[in-house]
Amino acid sequence: MRPSTRTGQFPPAARYGRFVGRVGALALFLGVGTALGMPAASAEGDDSSRSGPASRSATSSSASSSPHSARGPSARPARATRGTAHRAATAPQSLASASRAAGITSWAKGDPKAPVASPALSAAAAYTRRPATVTPRRPFAAVPIDAEPAAEPAAGGLPTPVGAATPVTAVSAAQAELSNQVSPLGTPVQIARERIAMRTAASLPVTLMKFVLRQGFLAAGNQQFALVGGVDAANLQALDNAVDEYALASAFSQQILNPMDPAVVTQVAPPHSWYGLDVAGSRLLYDNPDTIYRFIPVNKTAEYVITGRLFEGIPSDTTFSVLEGTAGTTSTILTLDDLDISPDGSFVITVSGAAATPGQRNHLQLTSSSTLIAARNTLGDWAVEDPMGLEVQRVGGPPNSLFAQLGGFVLLGSLVNDNPLLASLASLIPPLGIAEAPIVRGTLTALLMIVRGSNQQAKYMALATTDPVTGQLRAPNVMTQPASNAEFLANQLQSNGYFQLAEDEALILTIDPASAGFFTVPVYNDWTITDDYWNQQTSLNNDQSIANLDGTYTIVVSPTDPLVANWLSTGGLNQGIISMRFQNLDPDSPDTPTVTSQVVKISDLGDYLPGGTVFVTPEQRATQLAVRKAGFDKRWAPYPQP
């Protein structure tokens, strides 16, 4: 991907990395119609081209956002690029200083007399590790941290582990005193589209297709996990939910087949309750717990205007990309570094088939095969960073029509999109209400499920279980070295693998992020989706973790809590998948991230962890989880989540 060289245009821009999600993966599913030929998803580098402003014709449709508080530029601090050397030199010092100020200590391996930073405080005030101070938006009242220091390590070098089944008492959202803020995700259009998707997912065609999809998922799972005896009992219990979430994702996908009725819709999301609506999850294909995914259907024959606004909690990564055809490849990409942004954080992006005019920066050019714009916010510090506000209006092109409703512009592609006369003729029949009926939407959704479901699921499972060169199944508990993968974006690196752990075992991951400004380590079940990552620490990014003194990170993966600050819970699973992302890579650095893995007994962890490893008490863990949950609740404010 082309690294942007512009700096100083907008203060936070220095921090923004390139892409955060699996655009090729998700776009393959979300961005295309029901074409029978399904080429493998790829992640080509962007040929970032600029194009001219969209013409201002009559508005056909828009996505309105809910009002939220006005915020001035003074609240939006600059974010400096975080390099490994800086993290190694400053993070321990700043955390320790914050801990001493709060009177918090916990024991470090190898030096039980020396207090080190409390990881609970680290989670509550992660921004202290940053070279630039970030002012939180009063997301929640501070969670008191008054736990006793962790017990001095026993003979094995560790406090007594906490059993996986032991409930952790976290501070409720009500106790955390939600502020008066309103999440920019909760727009009227979002709520309306969620209602449509849930009605579609409950239709008879989708209900019947879920039975077929379940058998395909199960067959793929038993094949991919054959070395460890196939899918285990805990993952079998999660199968029905995985199929349900795939079905709801398909129902959202069906809605974005019509580029003449565009909307900004959050998808690939966990279950949430807000505005009187209980929305099920729509996660699939390695959803990222740190990322807000929003998709906008587009077409070359039309013109669009995207308006947005950044708030004071600037995301770790923000990108807009144009996705192409059935493969979901990226043809154009904009980062915040590329955009002209007003002092109040607002911006406007034009979208059309025309090239950018000289000097025009805020433009995305469409090709005849363009189907989607993917907008992504990756939140490193959940307690501080905010998703942007975002709307879209179609300002030119053919009127909405039955042809567009049924996905004709996607299915026929350049045949129509490169022929203005044919596009006009195809748009003569106006949209019909019958095309919006649940039975029609359900039929299209069921077709998406059957064409893509089982084969796509097997492909993404294989990323963790199968050697791409030999085609042979890989052994568990061994992570691949970070590399670019054709299924994802070329400007990211991924490390994949699967684990098989007994209750008394742990997988130690040692991560050297090298030039990566951001990395994340989520746990997935066998069906490539996350679980309850808001109440459980089943993902960790480098904002949420404590670095070793040399700038590396040691993550302990286990079903049982060893009371290590950097514990990555498996969510009670003994078998599952780990898929890491490395982002914001320095293109001029010869250093690349590395990952090593080792399985040990939990009782022997102290013999393998590096000096300075931070441990916590059960009370500190509870506080750590409470802060995590409060950050998650911000996404759905003002509604605290279960």
Q: Say if residue 371 is in the same domain as residue 512.
A: no
Task: Return the residue matching tokens 């005030």.
Answer: 125
Is residue 508 within 8 Å of 562, Cβ to Cβ? no
Q: Which pLDDT does position 209 carry in this prediction?
A: 96
Work out the pLDDT band at 583, boundaries 50, 70, 90: confident
Work out the pLDDT band at 491, boundaries 50, 70, 90: low
Q: Which pLDDT does position 391 carry in this prediction?
A: 96
Q: Which pLDDT does position 456 carry in this prediction?
A: 84
> Measured between alpha carbons, how far is 500 from 526 in angstroms, rounded to an integer?
11
Q: Which pLDDT does position 117 carry in this prediction?
A: 40
Q: Say if residue 374 is in the same domain as residue 458.
A: yes
Q: Which pLDDT does position 50 carry in this prediction?
A: 34
Q: Say if residue 398 is in the same domain as residue 299.
A: yes
Neighbours of 409 (CB within 10 A): 30
Is 76 a member of any domain?
no
pLDDT at 590 over 50: yes
Work out the pLDDT band at 59, boundaries 50, 70, 90: very low
Q: Which pLDDT does position 320 carry in this prediction?
A: 92
- Identify the DSSP state of 564: B
Condensed to tens digits (0 to 9), the pLDDT of residues 247-267 reads 999 999 999 889 999 999 999
Q: Tokens standing for 290?
A: 């740190």
> Measured between alpha carbons, how far is 561 from 161 in angstroms, rounded to an integer?
6
Q: Which residues contact 105 (CB under 8 A, 6 or more apart)?
A: 99, 115, 116, 118, 149
Share of the chain above pLDDT 90, in %: 59
> Of the candidates 462, 486, 520, which is a domain's last residue?
462
> Measured between alpha carbons, how far is 14 from 181 in angstroms, rounded to an integer?
27
pLDDT at 459 over 80: yes
Is 77 a member of any domain?
no
pLDDT: is 10 or 556 the higher one?
A: 556
Half-sphere exposure of 415 (CA within 13 A, CB side): 7
CA dihedral over 113, 114, 119, 121, signed as positive or negative? positive
Q: Which pLDDT does position 173 carry in this prediction?
A: 38
pLDDT at 474 over 90: yes
Q: Which pLDDT does position 487 carry in this prediction?
A: 53
Is residue 351 within 8 Å of 370, Cβ to Cβ? no
Q: Say if residue 199 is in the same domain as residue 175.
A: no
Number of H helices, E strands in the chain: 13, 22
Q: Residue 303's beta-bridge partner residues? A: 396
- Identify the DSSP state of 273: E
Strand (E) or helix (H) holding 224: helix 204-224
Q: What is the mean pLDDT of residues 183-195?
A: 95
Q: Say if residue 377 is in the same domain as residue 483.
A: no
Q: Say if residue 477 is in the same domain as residue 411.
A: no
Q: Say if residue 371 is in the same domain as residue 317.
A: yes
- Single out the residue of 95, 150, 93 nearest to residue 117, CA to CA: 95
> Measured between alpha carbons, how far is 524 from 235 in angstroms, rounded to an integer?
10
Q: Say if residue 196 is in the same domain as residue 246.
A: yes
Q: Which pLDDT does position 92 carry in this prediction?
A: 33
Q: Which pLDDT does position 139 carry in this prediction?
A: 31
Work out the pLDDT band at 490, boundaries 50, 70, 90: low
Q: What is the mean pLDDT of residues 525-546?
A: 96
CA dihedral over 69, 72, 75, 78, signed as positive or negative? positive
> Measured between alpha carbons, how far is 318 from 306 in angstroms, rounded to an integer?
14
Is 223 a member of any domain?
yes
Environment class of 108 (CB within 10 Å of its CB; exposed 0-12, middle 13-18, buried 19+): buried
Work out the pLDDT band at 226, boundaries 50, 70, 90: very high
Work out the pLDDT band at 79, boundaries 50, 70, 90: very low
Work out the pLDDT band at 415, boundaries 50, 70, 90: confident
Q: Say if residue 214 is in the same domain as residue 328.
A: yes
Q: Which pLDDT does position 20 carry in this prediction?
A: 32
Q: Which pLDDT does position 551 carry in this prediction?
A: 94
- Identify the DSSP state of 466: B
Domain that includes residue 607, residue range: 93-181+473-634
> Of the candidates 417, 433, 462, which is a domain's last residue?
462
Please state which of the ranges 47-51, 327-331, 410-414 shows the lowest mean pLDDT: 47-51
> Measured between alpha carbons, how far is 94 from 75 in angstroms, rounded to an integer?
22
Share of the chain above pLDDT 70, in %: 70
> Measured between alpha carbons, how far is 153 from 540 in angstroms, rounded to an integer?
24
> Of the candidates 462, 497, 516, which is a domain's last residue?
462
Q: What is the mean pLDDT of residues 74-97?
A: 34
Q: Tokens standing for 499?
A: 């684990």
- Single out the residue of 129, 105, 125, 126 nearest to residue 117, CA to CA: 105
Q: What is the mean pLDDT of residues 458-464?
A: 93
SS3 205: helix
pLDDT at 380 over 80: yes
Our CA dihedral for 58, 64, 68, 69, rounded to 10 degrees, sits at -10
Q: Which pLDDT does position 418 carry in this prediction?
A: 87
Q: What share of the chain is helix, strand, coil (3-state, %, to 5)?
A: 30, 20, 50
Is 621 a member of any domain?
yes
Q: Which pLDDT does position 326 carry in this prediction?
A: 62
Work out the pLDDT band at 109, boundaries 50, 70, 90: very low
- Single out the residue of 198, 194, 244, 161 nearest to residue 602, CA to CA: 161
Q: Tokens standing for 498?
A: 């699967």
Q: Say if residue 370 is in the same domain as residue 493.
A: no
Work out the pLDDT band at 484, boundaries 50, 70, 90: confident
Q: Which residues contact 349 (CB under 8 A, 6 or more apart)?
A: 305, 306, 307, 308, 320, 334, 339, 362, 363, 364
- Single out the residue of 71, 523, 474 nearest to residue 310, CA to CA: 71
Q: Tokens standing for 81?
A: 């690029």
SS3 227: helix
Buried b (16+ CB within 10 A) or exposed e, 1-40: beebeeeeebbbbbbbbbbbbbbbbbbbbbbbbbeeeeee
Q: Write the CATH number for 108.
A: 2.60.120.1600
Average pLDDT value over all residues in the chain: 77
> Measured between alpha carbons, how far is 118 from 124 in angstroms, rounded to an integer?
10
> Measured between alpha carbons, how far is 347 from 331 in angstroms, rounded to an integer?
21
Strand (E) or helix (H) holding 394: strand 389-396
Condensed to tens digits (0 to 9), the pLDDT of residues 274-327 reads 999 999 999 999 999 999 999 999 999 999 999 999 998 999 989 898 988 766
Q: Say if residue 134 is in the same domain as residue 268.
A: no
Q: Say if residue 331 is in the same domain as residue 313.
A: yes
The end-to-end CA distance of the chain, in Å, is: 39
Q: Which pLDDT does position 588 carry in this prediction?
A: 87
> Measured between alpha carbons, how far is 277 from 194 in angstroms, rounded to an integer?
9
- Single out the residue of 391, 435, 429, 392 nearest to residue 299, CA to CA: 392
- Number of structural domains the chain divides into: 2
Q: What are phi and psi of 439, to 5 degrees?
A: -70, -35
> Measured between alpha carbons, how far is 210 from 189 in angstroms, rounded to an integer?
27
Is 2 a member of any domain?
no
Q: Tokens standing for 71?
A: 């915020």
How many residues are there in the chain? 642
Is 333 a member of any domain?
yes
